[in-house]
Structure 1
Amino acid sequence: MADVRDILELDRATTPEITRDIVMGADKFKKGPRPPTAKVTKRPEGMHREVFALLYNDKNDAPPLLPTDTGNGYKQTKAKLGLRKVRPWAWTPFTNPARTDGAIFYHWRRASDEPREYPFAKFNKQISVISYTDTEYNTHLQSETWTRAETDMLLDLAKRFDLRFTIMCDRWNRDKPRTVEDIKERYYEICGILEKVRGGSSDKKIYVFDADHERRRKEQLDKQFKRTNEQMEEEQSLINELKKIEARKRDRERKTQDLQKLISQADSQGETPRKSDKKIPKKKLHHPTRPSRIDPSAIEITGIKFPDFKNSGVSLRSQRIKLPANIGQKKTKAIEQMLQELHIDPNPIPTEDICLHFNELRSDIVLNYELKSALATCEFELQSLRHQYEALNPGKTLSIPTSISTGANDQEGIKQEIIDVVGSPGTPANTT
């Protein structure tokens, strides 16, 4: 009763000081004879140990009916009683800023707390919905498929349901139903027109809703959802076959590269001059050394091989114009220099046609670069052969035809010959 009189702020009689012995009971801690140990209940035959543990524990206490969050399980914790006076509470009125009818509500609040705004008012978030005047509608917003009444109802539903277009479609007039895509397209069309007419900030992005794309996307998702097990298994089998084909393709490319390396190593060994040849004068050379010759088939002249993006899933078209990783730095610099001379943007807009032609152009640039390098190598070999011929035959010289010189090729053009080094399946071996 003393606590009740404190809450009601009534006078109370003097009470003795509350001590620990009074609250907890001094007699409880007095030592005495221990109670006899309870008899252990034997587990019935045929009952599992886990089931019996749910029924009884060591002290034969009943199991809890509800889960508890106390530290000692279902056992009651000791009461924690304070000795201070209870703080007064007051039945205080408050208002909700989200309501416009001026309703007044009441709740309990400590008398010492200062009045503050209703804490749940911060969740009252409202979306700003655009509006228009009669002049703006008659001048810019008239449409052949939408009437003024439907447009007004659209904005009214947008304000009521905070642009939840699915709910707006459900609340639409049943006499002339509209789809969600139609409602969204009309609303964002109004927003874009009014933003341009009113001359808003240039930084603000005008959102354009593509209703046809949204319909096709939903149709595709619906078809994807309605696939049968047979169709899913067929798709999975096709994906597995595609992986096998790509694995075989990578294996063939690896074997081709290994064979190309062996050919290059054989040619490089033939080009290495002997150290003893440097010490012997040219006049005393009686036995002609093997001339270093570069097989034109060992020079890879293919341009750029761009990867094929045939994997399942979504990919960016800009990845098609990305140079492969095997392109060296010299070729990359040559491409950049040539594009700069031709005044071509190195990063164009990746449309379908631009990607195709841009890749072909860079492949031709690299092919031209490789042809020039091969031509320079062949000219160097011809010069080496001429010097060797002059050393072996004093007084004689070897003339190089002008048709294969650099100047003649600049005028007449370089003719490309496609030489199959590795050999494709079904191609007969060259015995010449």
Structure 2
Amino acid sequence: MAASAADVRSALSIPDATLAAGPSQQKKPAATPAARKPEGISRELYSLIGPSAPSIAAQLAKPRLKQKPNLTGGGKVKWEERPFKNAARKDGLELRHWVKASTDPAAEYPFAKYNVPPVSYTYSQDEFTRFLEDKEWTKEETDYLFNVVQEYDTRWYIIHDRYSYPEGTPRTLEDLKDRYYSVCRKLVRNRPWAGDEASRGQLISTFQFDKERELTRKKYLLSLENRTPEQIAEEEALYIEIKRLEQNERKFKRDREDLLRTIAGIDSGLPDIVEDDGGPLGITVDTKKLRKKGSIMDMDSPATPSALSISTPLIKRPPTAKNTAYDAQHCIIRTDLSANAPATKAAHQAAYIRSFKLPVPKAAIAPKIAQAFSELGLSHSRLVMPTRENCAQFEALLEATTALVETKRVVDKVEYDIQVLKGQLGMRTSQPAEGEDGGEGEDAGGGDSKTNGDSMEVDDAPENEDERAQSVVSTRSGRSRKHVSSCDV
């Protein structure tokens, strides 16, 4: 490539003659061809990042959804047309097909493994005589049927089309299937079986065929296919009407039950109302007791069938042996409300868990009861097995412990009262000895005794408020008796 004069001057650092001649307009550098904007990046972004875009453009390139197959590149595959034989065929037919040249010529035809023939049953003359005889089927025709079934691989429509036994009666498809499956069932059922009975039963179930049901099914399908448009429209209208009637019947039945239960007061929880199977909806009411209590049944009402059936007298059926056995089997215990229970809705007791109804001791004596139970190694708040008997024993134990704690509390009060009275009696016996020293000793002694008595009460006052009140009452009664005795003197 030849160097220009400008290149030579630039290499030798020689100034340009045009610049030395005088000031003139500087030449614009030759415009370089603009770099092409790569694909996958916008024009504004490329103008900002400049020529350093290739690395980013590779990342922002649009992905290819599906790679085109490379038909020309790569190693070429050679195909050959070879003859082959299907191992599933018994006639030795030889065909040809295209395969890869790298395939082993001695390899077995790969699709032969999918030819799985069904199990074909054969029978001897002895088995046919003992198990398979039928007045409508001879042995020759049965043998012909099994040969056709085996030839056409149990494809019944083809079998029925090809079936042509010479000098035989015409057979329908259902006749052929019924005879074939009945013979197979009898052979499996009467031959020795090496496996278990479950596998034999499963195999027999595969040969089940109901001829009458199949005929009925086909007849019904044929009648459905032969319906006219008018019949189809009529059936749809009848179906809609039946659904509407069923819905109305359910609604009327539900409203009637709600009305009868409201009139009879079943949901009120009254003990005189018993649900029984005798009346409509199992409702019978004792009207005599309801009239005594001023029930709504005393009011004049039209004699409707519902009112007449509800106003029948209550007949409580005795518990039968069947109900008792059922309750005992399912651990059901039925409790009747007492006659003194209030006839209100609150008197009705719903089902509950027995462990939720365990008695709780009073808050005042709960710590002492807990201490007593802890000494016995028991828990007063939880039962491991809250059976009916255990709950009854627990309640009895809790009542006995409560009575014991209350008795001990009363004994402590009595003992304290005795001690107080003994102290007052000692003070009263010491009064004459103190009264011999002065004329007013008796009064002074009386005053001192009161003071001493009060001080004793303050010093020995119990911590319990009930005991303190009891001691104060006893002291006041002692004072009143002392004043009365002094006045009498």
TM-score, scaled relative to structure 1: 0.44
Q: Which has the larger radius of gyration?
A: 2
- Tell me which of the two structures has the higher relative contact order, counting C-alpha pairs closer than 8 angstroms and 6 or more residues apart: 1
TM-score, scaled relative to structure 2: 0.39
More helix by share: 2
